[in-house]
């Protein structure tokens, strides 16, 4: 479980995160949504320890990040998996080597053990026959799946995804969403996803945190987002006619 | 202020290069890959340039010796001195700043742009050690490249001398053996080690701390080449003053 308390982060005069407090539970897929520039990426990078907040604390299963020494921080980071927006695969390595990379860095497994584990997770993300391709030879959807495989290969406790669906067609996006949710439940991981994609919100948002101008404007789930009257949320989530109709139908069904 | 900030950031990067070392089994692979990319991959161009520049030095020296009182073996002597003292360690290092430096900056810069460095940091890996240290170790073999440059420069001079009819082989060999001071080779290799350190770290700094996209990768490569060359030229002057004067 990740608990965030009163998180504040500035860059010069720009106060990007303004006292955000929330929590993300184990085995659940949580989404952080908001407009571009609302502070989602900065928030995620604070969770990852890439940015240091000026104020506030982030605790991972009770361990407060800012109070850990460098070795403890390193150990904690080895328990994190991250899926970057652009996949961030190492382009000098094959897909198999990319997936094996965290194992090579953090475990004492021999080569065949690492290959077995990498093979297992590649099959789990439905990439059974792409082991020896280079990342540049893989499609966007395949690259995302490799990134997910790399993120989960070392059995992380925390999985972070920055816009995992960006640049993907709607069908592949749903496959990726479902894959992340299945993996989260299967391995009881705490998953936090940054997203703009309203399909993802409706599909897998077991917890949704809505950021606006660096503030937490709303918090709920995929069920409560239909019922909320919060104008800031409804203006953002139901900005398209399609989602307006979906919401209307949902509310009519409930009545 | 920006210059001071960058100089400070550069020295912090040097310190971080030796912190939290990457697992040896992984580092070993990276070092061999960088030896292949940076050292072995540079041998061809270094050999080509050394041979022909050695020849040009010989021709120009021979053509400027017009007085019959000056012995012909001076051509070999001048070629040896030029190649060992200046051409091989400094001129080749400037060329390597272009070849190896731009390769290092663009490869690390591309990793920055495509979030590969962020991926390393998220995993708890010391990205500076992972990326820069193997290049630093690989470039400690740079004196091997310079030895080849020295040898081929002198051989190129010999070929030009004989085939151009500027002096005989005996005169040339007498010239290259004349008044040989072994410390000049030591001086050349001390410079080479210092330049190798600059070649590994300055382009890495520009790649690692670059911001922006593909266009900025190109700009960072150019900036890295300029600064590496400037630092090499300045250090060349300082080391020559310290070691030879």
Q: Are A77 and B114 a contacting pair at CB < 8 A?
A: no
Q: Where in chain A are the domains?
A: 1-79+157-224, 91-155
User: What's the alpha-carbon Rg for chain A, to the nearest Å?
Assistant: 19
Q: Are B25 and A104 a contacting pair at CB < 8 A?
A: yes
Is the residue at B9 inside a domain? no
Q: Which domain holds residue B200?
A: 24-244
**The pairing of beta strand A158-162 with beta strand A80-83:** parallel
Q: Evaluate whether A195 touches A44 at the Cβ level (below 8 Å).
A: no
Question: Considering only residues 127 to 166 of chain A, which have any Cβ-Cβ distance to chain B shorter than 8 Å?
Answer: 160
The 10s digit of each residue's pLDDT in B54-91 is 999 999 999 988 788 888 889 999 999 999 999 999 99
The 10s digit of each residue's pLDDT in A119-167 is 988 988 888 888 899 999 998 888 988 998 998 888 889 999 988 887 7
The pLDDT value given to residue A172: 78
Q: Report CA-CA distances (Å) from A119 to A31, A99, A149, A166, B213.
A: 29, 9, 10, 26, 34
- Nearest residue in chain B measured CA to CA from A110: B25
Q: Evaluate whether A54 touches A125 at the Cβ level (below 8 Å).
A: no
Q: What is the distance between the alpha carbons of residues A95 and A239, in angstroms, rounded to a whole number? A: 39
Is the residue at B13 inside a domain? no
The pLDDT value given to residue B153: 95
Alpha helices in B65-181, H assignment, sequence order: 74-82, 92-113, 116-122, 127-138, 142-163, 169-177
The 10s digit of each residue's pLDDT in B120-165 is 988 888 899 999 999 999 999 999 999 999 999 999 999 999 998 8
The 10s digit of each residue's pLDDT in A90-105 is 998 999 999 999 999 8
CA dihedral of residues A239, A245, A250, A253 (deg, nearest 10): 160
Phi-psi region of A39 (alpha: psi -120 to 50; beta: other; left: phi over 0): left
Which helix (DSSP H) or strand (DSSP E) does residue B73 occupy?
none
Pick the CATH number of A1-79+157-224 from 3.40.50.300, 2.30.40.10, 3.40.50.720, 3.30.9.90: 3.40.50.300
Q: Evaluate whether A214 touches A34 at the Cβ level (below 8 Å).
A: no
Q: Are A104 and B115 a contacting pair at CB < 8 A?
A: no
Q: Provide, rounded to the nearest whole percent, the portion of chain B with pLDDT above 70.
A: 100
Domain count, chain B: 1
The 10s digit of each residue's pLDDT in A202-243 is 888 889 999 998 899 888 888 888 778 888 888 887 777 777
The 10s digit of each residue's pLDDT in A5-58 is 999 999 988 899 999 999 998 888 899 988 888 889 899 989 988 888 999 999
A249: buried, middle or exposed (CB in 10 Å: 19+, 13-18, 0-12)? Answer: exposed
**The pairing of beta strand A207-212 with beta strand A29-34:** parallel
Q: Evaluate whether B187 touches B245 at the Cβ level (below 8 Å).
A: no
Q: Residue A33's Cα: distance from chain center in Å?
A: 11
The pLDDT value given to residue B205: 96
Is the residue at B10 inside a domain? no
Give me the numbers of helices (H) and strands (E) for chain A, helices first please: 10, 10
- Within 8 A by CB and 6+ apart from A150, the residues are A81, A89, A98, A99, A101, A102
Q: What is the distance between the alpha carbons of residues A66 and A47, in angstroms, rounded to a whole number? A: 11
A9 bridge partner residues: A17
The pLDDT value given to residue A227: 78
Q: Are A105 and B118 a contacting pair at CB < 8 A?
A: no
Give me the numbers of helices (H) and strands (E) for chain B, helices first please: 11, 0
In 3-state terms, what secondary structure has residue A8?
A: strand
Q: What is the distance between the alpha carbons of residues B116 and B244, in angstroms, rounded to a whole number? A: 45
More confident residue, A158 or A251: A158
The 10s digit of each residue's pLDDT in A47-70 is 988 888 999 999 999 899 889 888
Query: Which residues from chain A sit within 8 angstroms of residue B124, using beta carbons?
Result: 73-78, 80, 106
Query: Which residues from chain B sit within 8 angstroms of residue A74, using beta carbons?
Result: 20, 124
What's A137's DSSP letter? G
Candidates A88, A104, A160; nearest CB to B116: A88
Q: Evaluate whether B79 touches B54 at the Cβ level (below 8 Å).
A: yes
Taking residues B205-220, report their average pLDDT: 92
Q: Are A73 and B124 a contacting pair at CB < 8 A?
A: yes
**The pairing of beta strand A158-162 with beta strand A215-220:** unpaired
Q: What is the distance between the alpha carbons of residues B177 and B169, in angstroms, rounded to a whole number? A: 12
What's A68's DSSP letter? S
Q: Report CA-CA distances (Å) from B6 to B3, B10, B47, B227.
A: 5, 6, 35, 12
Cβ–Cβ contacts within 10 Å for residue B199, how many? 27
Q: Where are the beta strands (DSSP E) in chain A?
A: 2-11, 14-24, 29-34, 55-60, 63-64, 80-83, 158-162, 190-195, 207-212, 215-220
| Structure-token match 């670059």, residue found | B210
Query: Which residues from chain B sit within 8 angstroms of residue A106, using beta carbons?
Result: 123-124
The pLDDT value given to residue A74: 80
Q: Are A90 and B121 a contacting pair at CB < 8 A?
A: no
The 10s digit of each residue's pLDDT in B11-67 is 999 999 998 888 888 899 999 999 999 999 999 999 999 999 999 999 999 998 878
In 3-state terms, what secondary structure has residue A57?
A: strand
User: What's the alpha-carbon Rg for chain B, to the nearest Å?
Assistant: 21
- Nearest residue in chain A measured CA to CA from B33: A92
The residue of B124, B129, B131, B211 whose CB has the most chain A CBs within 10 angstroms, and thus the best one to mutate to test that interface, is B124
The pLDDT value given to residue B72: 85
Is the residue at B104 inside a domain? yes
């Amino acid at each position: 479980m990740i608990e965030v308390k009163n998180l504040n982060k500035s860059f010069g005069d720009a106060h990007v995160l303004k006292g955000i407090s929330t929590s993300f539970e184990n085995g659940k897929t949580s989404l952080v949504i908001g407009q571009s520039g609302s502070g989602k990426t900065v928030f995620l990078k604070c969770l990852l320890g890439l940015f240091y907040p000026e104020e506030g604390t982030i605790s991972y299963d009770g361990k407060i990040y800012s109070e850990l020494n460098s070795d403890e921080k390193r150990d904690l980071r080895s328990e994190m998996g991250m899926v970057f927006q652009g996949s961030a695969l190492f382009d000098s390595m094959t897909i198999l080597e990319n997936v094996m990379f965290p194992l090579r860095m953090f475990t004492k497994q021999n080569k065949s053990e690492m290959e077995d584990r990498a093979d297992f997770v590649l099959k789990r993300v439905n990439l059974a026959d792409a082991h020896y391709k280079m990342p540049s030879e893989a499609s966007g959807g395949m690259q995302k799946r490799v990134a997910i495989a790399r993120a989960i290969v070392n059995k992380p406790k925390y999985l972070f995804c920055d816009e995992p669906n960006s640049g993907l067609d709607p069908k592949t996006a749903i496959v990726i969403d479902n894959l992340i949710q299945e993996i989260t439940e299967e391995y009881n991981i705490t998953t936090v996803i940054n997203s703009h994609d309203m399909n993802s919100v409706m599909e897998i948002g077991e917890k949704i945190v809505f950021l606006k101008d660096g503030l937490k404007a709303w918090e709920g789930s995929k069920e409560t987002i239909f019922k909320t009257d919060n104008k800031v949320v409804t203006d953002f989530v139901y900005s398209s006619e399609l989602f307006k109709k979906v919401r209307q139908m949902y509310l009519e069904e409930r009545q | 202020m920006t210059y001071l900030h960058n100089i400070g950031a550069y020295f912090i990067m040097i310190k971080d290069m030796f912190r939290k070392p990457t697992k040896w089994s992984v580092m070993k692979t990276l070092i061999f890959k960088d030896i292949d990319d940076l050292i072995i991959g540079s041998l061809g161009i270094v050999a080509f340039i050394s041979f022909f520049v050695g020849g040009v030095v010989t021709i120009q020296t021979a053509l400027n010796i017009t007085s019959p009182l000056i012995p012909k073996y001076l051509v070999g002597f001048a070629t040896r001195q030029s190649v060992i003292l200046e051409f091989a360690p400094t001129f080749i290092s400037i060329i390597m700043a272009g070849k190896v430096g731009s390769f290092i900056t663009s490869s690390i810069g591309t990793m920055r742009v495509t979030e590969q460095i962020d991926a390393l940091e998220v995993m708890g890996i010391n990205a500076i050690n992972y990326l820069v240290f193997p290049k630093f170790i690989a470039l400690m073999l740079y004196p091997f490249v310079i030895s080849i440059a020295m040898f081929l420069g002198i051989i190129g001079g010999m070929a030009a001398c004989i085939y151009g009819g500027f002096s005989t082989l005996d005169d040339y060999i007498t010239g290259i053996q004349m008044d040989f001071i072994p410390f000049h080779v030591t001086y050349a290799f001390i410079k080479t080690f210092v330049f190798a350190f600059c070649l590994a770290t300055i382009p890495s700094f520009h790649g690692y701390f670059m911001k922006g996209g593909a266009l900025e990768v190109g700009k960072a490569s150019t900036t890295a080449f300029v600064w590496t060359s400037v630092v090499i030229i300045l250090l060349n002057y300082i080391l020559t003053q310290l070691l030879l004067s």
